Amino acid sequence: MDSLPVELLQRVGVVAAFVVSVAVVLLLDRRSSLLASLRRRLILGVPWGTLVSAAFVLAVYLLVQGGYDHWYSPVTIPFRAWSYFYPLGIATAAFSHGSAGHLVGNLVGTLTLAPLAEYAWGHFPRGRGAHSFSSLRTNPYVRAFVAFPVAVVVVGLLTSIFAIGPIIGFSGVVFAFAGVALVNYPLGTVIALAGGSALRLVYSALRNPVLTASGRPTYVTPWWADIAIQGHAIGLLIGVLIGLAIVRRRQQAARPSARRLWLGALLFSVEQSLWAVYWFRGGETFVLYRAVGVILVAALALIIVFAVVTRDDPLFSWELLGDSGVVRNWQVAAGILLLSTAALAGPAVPANLYTAESGDLAGEEIEVRDYEVTYAENVENGLVATVDVEAFGETTGVNTSGVIVRSEQRGIWTTAVSRGRLAFDGRRAVRLGGVGWRETVTAQRGGWRVLGNSSAYRVALGHNNTTRVVYASDPVTASPTLDGRNVTVVPNKSGYLLRVTEGNTSTDARFPTQNESVTADGLTFTRNNSSVYVSYNRTRVQLLERESYE
């Protein structure tokens, strides 16, 4: 039996296992009122707004980003929220994704958390005497198929407008779903998170029923440095405020207990790494403020509890110029949540008012329509340094190295591939494009490790079947002195030179080709496969080794 039928049987087995399990549980629990409860709040018990929203996000990936033809390699750069001067990015960022895995993760979060939020809001009005079809506001079909998806789009746009940095992904809206669900059904939200993990496991089992793996070197950045913590926090706070408006309409007894809400908020925040407050220090270095993050998470849980659970008793009254009013306990907590949201969102406004500057890029560039692509090292990061700010020992004026992409027309400036990533992989594709088109620029590094020192290397960019070297590293000198001579590898746009230095004099020799020898100032260099040896006075030493990549 070949592998295909075996894998097919395993996939069928995964689906059958869950279908049978659910069917048996429903048969054993015939008295359950779950379906009846769902029907009271949702049309036919189905979260239609969730399904419409998920379908919209999937459609953006497939049709706008080109995921239909390139499932694992969508176009991402033009669909990020770069600045207010690039409306396309602001409009699409929250609904676009960086990869298939990114998309699946957010769709799973949507399908597990959004139904709780939609159930709390409901397709049918809760108020006594309210009629479902008395107006568009109460019409269940309008609420399910129009109002809920429109609210999702609005929240997504807010997360794009008030995000610092070129965010991409639906996770801000997923956190808003979680915020609504959390204040209404705290433990249900935590259970939904576990359900999401189960769904991801099923997806992985269907995709790869059997996985063979072994130890291998990898290039990784800190996992917490890949989290859009500010966007997640804004989404969560927006959701909490919406959920607060829903839950405060209920009677006190129908609200979650303080203990459950506090535990749910804390567990959710910890599980979703809302404590991972970090900063980019430049040069692929990041700093994590873990203690500060834990304090903020604990404070957030307490404020949420106070806003939801506290009674409507007045805290104090006021009177000014003939007007008077009462401030209640929960309103103070709600005000703190609102101010916290504004404090997180506010810094995004000046940051997003900056755009890519004109002028020459550092390094030789190639052009693809409105994009400019080059490779440079130790240049000012045009993304982080748009606003010059220094605080708590950190600064936005940091440098970067790697493949740089700029589009003045779109206000884009980004390090698409870092120096470290290219040094590890050797070759990386940079996908450029826009709505309805895509082009690929390939960055490729080649170099030689020099005995006792670092590598001498060159970087080439390829597009439309043409490749051009755009960067050559500084010369690198071998550590040992060979018969009183120093050997330096000199990379340039056309290739490499071997420079032999003795005292104040130097001699250059061309780099040997395969199985060839060259001589300079008494030293003989021989290339054999991926190594270069030097011979002198009956001594032979391996001087260079070609870089290898993963």
Least confident of 131-135, 170-174, 175-179: 131-135
440-453 pLDDT tens trace: 999 999 999 999 99
* Pair 379, 400: CB distance under 8 Å: yes
201-250 pLDDT tens trace: 888 888 888 877 777 777 677 877 778 888 899 999 999 999 988 888 77
| Dihedral, 85, 86, 92, 96 alpha carbons, nearest 10 | -120
Rounded Cα distance, 205 and 10, in Å: 9
Whole-number pLDDT of residue 157: 96
Residues 6 or more apart whose Cβ sits within 8 Å of residue 406: 356, 361, 371, 372, 382, 412, 413, 414
141-154 pLDDT tens trace: 999 999 999 999 99
What are residue 359's phi and psi, to 5 degrees? 115, 175
Is the pLDDT at 22 greater than 90? The verdict is no
Number of neighbouring beta carbons within 10 Å of residue 532: 25
Q: How far apart are the first and last CA of the chain?
A: 34
Unique residue bearing structure tokens 């001589």: 519
For the stretch 405-437, what's the b/e string if a residue is b when 16 or more beta carbons lie within 10 angstroms of its beta carbon?
bbbeebbbbbbbbbbebbbbeeebebbbbbeee
Residue 491 is encoded by which pair of tokens? 């990379």
In which band, very low, low, confident or very high, does the pLDDT at 9 lie, cut at 50, 70 and 90?
Answer: confident
What are residue 509's phi and psi, to 5 degrees? -135, 145
Question: How many Cα atoms occupy the beta-carbon half-sphere of 463 within 13 Å?
Answer: 19
Least confident of 55-64, 106-115, 168-177, 314-323: 314-323
* Angle, alpha carbons 18-24-29 (nearest 5°): 125
One-character DSSP codes across 357-368: PPS--SS-EEEE
By the 10 Å C-beta count (0-12 exposed, 13-18 middle, 19+ buried), 191 is classed as middle
Helix 229-247 and helix 171-184: axis angle, to 10°? 30
Residue 481 is encoded by which pair of tokens? 């002195």
Rounded Cα distance, 160 and 81, in Å: 6
Residue 206 is encoded by which pair of tokens? 């269907």
- Higher per-residue confidence, 117 vs 32: 117
Number of neighbouring beta carbons within 10 Å of residue 119: 22
363-389 pLDDT tens trace: 888 999 999 999 999 888 776 544 555
One-character DSSP codes across 296-347: HHHHHHHHHHHHHHS---EEEEEEETTEEEEEEHHHHHHHHHHHHHHHHHTT
Q: Say whether pTM exceeds 0.95.
A: no
In which band, very low, low, confident or very high, does the pLDDT at 134 lie, cut at 50, 70 and 90?
Answer: low
Least confident of 81-95, 207-221, 283-297: 207-221
The domain spans of the chain are: 1-32, 39-211+219-352, 470-546
302-328 pLDDT tens trace: 988 888 887 776 766 666 666 666 777
Whole-number pLDDT of residue 149: 96
